[in-house]
């Protein structure tokens, strides 16, 4: 077995999340392996990961039809997954070398058979571009995309959505889940409850086992975290902040905090730039295989205005970066955004064009929720204003439970 191929499989067995991410980054496929057993093992691990099935050597051995002793030996010879990126890169370089050697051998045969030199040069140029390090575009046929999409639809039969769900069921019936590789937006006026709604999503998803990254740029991390724990414990954090709660409430919320302290929810706060958010999200995807990123909120990304740009240009740049990030990590990226005050001053309900600072946000986002208060109904509305994948223009009545830092459907 080639050493780098063997080491790469060993890393995938030691830490499947890190291993699979490194393989995606380097566009490793089953064809990248020269050893048939390693090819089978790679395909088995990749299949289990796509199905969100636990990856252990017994299951992998059975699925691949490879003796478990071979897996034991691979793991024994791979002490750490820390160098997985290096191994994946070496495997890909070796694969490209084999492809180039095959092309040259084929060209030599064609030359002997009388194929013209200009035609050979043209064919070689196309082939070299295809295997070049600089060619990051993966060309696919319909057949290449069938299996993954069919598996998504089968999973939707069980879960009722593709992607990561919105945790209020009636809203999710129209939304159909936040979609991987796409940007979503939760928009509302200042103080209307965007952060509360976003944190509610983070908490419930992480409690259900989804890996969640929350970049809380407006509020400090202790404010965001205590709000979520208060929602879990159904205790008013404001009462604790002002010393009005009974002392027993502190013990109750402390116990609640210990209960959910290790759920897969990762919180980052401070004055962060888009590069820092992007890099941190990549790290969390590699180490913890996060399922979704929330940014609260996009108007607080530093700097407010980039040098040589207007505010609108800056926001357009941020929007495009998040679109690229969601595609690269293949997870949803959900941004909280403020609405301009124009619609409020005109006493009309908001619309997508009221997104503050940039029309690019409206353009780039594939799913947009608008959160606003309806005076006549005396409750909030969540409107699925844009949904490129299903129903839109749907409104759901919700009640803000201020003492419990959450929204409930009316």
Say what the pLDDT of residue 136 is.
Answer: 56
pTM, to two decimals: 0.76
Low-confidence ranges of the chain (pLDDT < 50): none
**Do β-strands 265-269 and 406-409 pair in parallel, antiparallel, or remain unpaired?**
unpaired
**pLDDT tens for residues 43-65?**
999 888 877 778 889 999 999 99
> Is there a contact between 213 and 293 (Cβ–Cβ < 8 Å)?
yes
The dihedrals phi and psi of 308, each to the nearest 5 degrees, come to: 80, 5
Say what the pLDDT of residue 348 is.
Answer: 75
Say what the pLDDT of residue 135 is.
Answer: 52
Length of the chain: 410
Half-sphere exposure of 53 (CA within 13 A, CB side): 15
Separation of alpha carbons 90 and 84, rounded Å: 10
Report the run of H or E that residue 287 belongs to, with start and end.
helix 274-288
The dihedrals phi and psi of 188, each to the nearest 5 degrees, come to: -170, 170
Separation of alpha carbons 52 and 44, rounded Å: 12
Query: What is the DSSP track for 59-103?
Result: HHHHHHT--HHHHHHHHHT---STTHHHHHHHHHHHHHHHHHHHH
Report the run of H or E that residue 233 belongs to, with start and end.
helix 221-233
Say what the pLDDT of residue 277 is.
Answer: 94
Three-state SS at 327: helix
> Is there a contact between 294 and 212 (Cβ–Cβ < 8 Å)?
yes
* Number of neighbours of residue 339 by Cβ within 10 angstroms: 23
User: What CA–CA distances, in Å, run from 293 to 164, 201, 389?
Assistant: 11, 11, 19
Say what the pLDDT of residue 137 is.
Answer: 64
* Number of neighbours of residue 32 by Cβ within 10 angstroms: 21
Burial class of residue 211 (count of CB atoms within 10 Å of its CB; 0-12, 13-18, 19+): buried
Q: Please report the domains of the chain, with CATH numbers, ordered by start residue.
A: 1-139 (1.10.860.10), 159-409 (3.40.50.300)
Separation of alpha carbons 49 and 46, rounded Å: 5
Half-sphere exposure of 243 (CA within 13 A, CB side): 0
Say what the pLDDT of residue 34 is.
Answer: 94
Residues 6+ apart with CB under 8 A from 172: 160, 161, 165, 166
Token readout for 408 is: 């409930």
| 405: DSSP letter | T
Say what the pLDDT of residue 164 is.
Answer: 92
Tell which residue, 402, 372, 397, has the closest CA to residue 227: 402
> Is there a contact between 20 and 12 (Cβ–Cβ < 8 Å)?
yes
């Amino acid at each position: 077995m080639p050493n780098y191929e063997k080491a790469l499989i060993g890393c995938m067995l030691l830490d499947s999340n890190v291993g699979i991410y490194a393989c995606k980054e380097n566009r490793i496929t089953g064809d990248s392996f020269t050893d048939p057993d390693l090819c089978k093992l790679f395909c088995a691990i990749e299949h289990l990961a796509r199905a969100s099935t636990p990856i252990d050597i017994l299951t992998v051995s059975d699925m691949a039809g490879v003796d478990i002793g071979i897996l034991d030996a691979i793991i024994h010879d791979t002490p750490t997954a820390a160098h997985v990126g290096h191994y994946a890169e070496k495997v890909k370089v070796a694969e490209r070398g084999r492809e180039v050697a095959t092309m040259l051998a084929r060209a030599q045969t064609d030359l002997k058979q009388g194929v013209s030199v200009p035609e050979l040069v043209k064919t070689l140029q196309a082939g070299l571009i295809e295997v070049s390090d600089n060619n990051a575009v993966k060309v696919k046929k319909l057949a290449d995309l069938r299996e993954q999409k069919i598996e998504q639809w089968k999973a939707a039969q069980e879960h009722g959505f593709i992607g990561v769900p919105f945790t209020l069921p009636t809203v999710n019936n129209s939304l159909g889940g936040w979609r991987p590789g796409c940007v979503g937006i939760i928009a509302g006026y200042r103080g209307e409850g965007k952060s509360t709604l976003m944190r509610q999503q983070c908490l419930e998803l992480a409690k259900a086992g989804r890996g969640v990254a929350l970049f809380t740029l407006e509020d400090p991390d202790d404010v965001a975290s205590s709000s979520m724990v208060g929602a879990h414990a159904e205790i008013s954090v404001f009462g604790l902040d002002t010393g009005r709660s009974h002392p027993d409430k502190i013990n109750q919320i402390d116990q609640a905090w210990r209960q959910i302290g290790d759920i897969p929810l990762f919180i980052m706060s401070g004055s962060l730039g888009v590069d820092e958010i992007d890099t941190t999200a990549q790290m969390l995807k590699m180490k913890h295989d996060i399922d979704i990123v929330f940014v609260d909120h996009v108007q607080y990304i530093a700097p407010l205005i980039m040098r040589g740009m207007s505010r609108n240009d800056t926001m357009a740049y941020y929007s495009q970066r998040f679109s690229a990030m969601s595609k690269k990590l293949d997870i949803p990226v959900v941004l909280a955004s403020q609405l301009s005050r124009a619609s409020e001053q005109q006493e009309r309900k908001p619309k997508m064009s009221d997104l503050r600072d940039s029309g690019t946000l409206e353009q780039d986002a594939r799913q947009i929720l608008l959160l606003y208060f309806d005076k006549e109904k005396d409750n909030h509305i969540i409107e699925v204003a844009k949904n490129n994948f299903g129903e839109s223009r749907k409104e759901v009545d919700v009640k803000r439970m201020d003492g419990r830092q959450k929204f409930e459907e009316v």
